[in-house]
């Protein structure tokens, strides 16, 4: 996720997106609800980009971030569930 965010910031297309708000390309804690909201908040500024190449680049980055974020959340939930199961097993025995 950090690599994608870095590519978004360092891209020559970043000028098209950051004219509105430079902080748009700075994510927060990965896998959190706030991070998911940040990804979703990118949709409107991306839609306003008039250059087709630039818009395609940011749409692709946004989609990758969405997939990675959902996988991160799933992995985190799975880890918590497996830890809970291990604790429950210890207390039962």
Q: According to the model, what pLDDT value does residue 65 have?
A: 92
Rounded distance, CA 79 to CA 25, Å?
29
Q: How confident is the model at residue 87 (pLDDT cuts 50, 70, 90)?
A: low
d(Cα 89, Cα 7) in Å, to the nearest integer?
A: 45
pLDDT of residue 16: 79
pLDDT for the residue numbered 6: 87
DSSP state of 27: -
Buried b vs exposed e over 46-57: b needs ≥16 C-beta within 10 Å?
beebeeeebbeb
Comparing 91 with 1, the larger pLDDT belongs to 1
Instruction: For residue 31, give the DSSP letter.
Output: T
User: What is the domain extent for residue 86?
Assistant: 2-92
Q: Exposed/middle/buried for 5, CB within 10 Å: 0-12, 13-18, 19+?
A: middle
pLDDT tens profile 27-82: 667 777 888 888 888 888 898 888 999 999 999 999 999 998 888 888 777 777 76
pLDDT at residue number 27: 61
Number of domains in the chain: 1
Q: Is the model's pLDDT at 89 over the cut of 70?
A: no
């Amino acid at each position: 996720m950090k690599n994608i965010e870095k590519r978004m910031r360092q891209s020559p297309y970043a000028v098209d997106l950051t004219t509105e708000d430079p902080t748009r390309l700075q994510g927060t804690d990965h896998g959190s609800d706030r991070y998911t909201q940040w990804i979703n908040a990118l949709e409107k500024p991306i839609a306003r980009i008039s250059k087709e190449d630039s818009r395609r680049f940011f749409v692709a980055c946004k989609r990758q971030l969405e997939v990675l974020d959902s996988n991160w959340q799933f992995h985190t939930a799975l880890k918590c569930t497996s830890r809970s199961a291990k604790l429950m097993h210890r207390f039962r025995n």
